[in-house]
Amino acid sequence: MLVLETDEPLQGLLEAVLRRSGYKLVFVQDGNEALRLLARREFAAFLVDVSIAPSTLEDGARRGIGFIHHLQRTNPVLLSHVVILTGLPDRELPPDLPSICRILRKPFDIDALRDALSECVAATA
């Protein structure tokens, strides 16, 4: 699973909880790094914090949404494997978020995260 999340305490929590559930996590700091990894290997799911600093993946991309926009343009099938993590209120979310992506609000329930990831992994089968 590819994780675009820069908050270190949350990274630690995700690492502890999800590894015990059998997930292998790869953490990246920005969308460009995520794209480099995605070009070399496949991932069953993506955890994406849309409030990550602006990305250069796309002109005008707000926050970490550039990675999601890139998937939308190049491989939209992968959008069903995306779980968006955000602490942003609805009014601050990008209006063009693909509706197929699952959204979890921070702080989120660990069981809700596991359920969302199970749905993503099932979509790959």
Q: What is the pLDDT of residue 57?
A: 55
Tokens representing residue 44 in the block: 């069953």
Q: How many CB atoms lie within 10 A of CB 1?
A: 19
What tens-digit pLDDT sequence spans the chain (125 residues)? 999 998 899 999 999 999 999 999 999 988 888 888 999 999 999 999 987 655 555 543 445 688 898 899 999 999 999 999 998 888 888 888 899 999 999 999 999 999 999 998 887 66
Q: Please tell me the pTM assigned to this model.
A: 0.89
Name the amino acid, one letter, at 93. L
Residue 89, by phi and psi: left (phi above 0), alpha (psi -120 to 50) or beta?
A: beta
Is the CATH number of domain 2-124 3.40.50.2300? yes
Alpha-carbon distance of 33 to 35, in angstroms, equals 5
Alpha-carbon distance of 94 to 99, in angstroms, equals 12
The domain ranges of the chain are 2-124
Q: What is the pLDDT of residue 67?
A: 87
Which residue matches tokens 């849309």?
Answer: 50
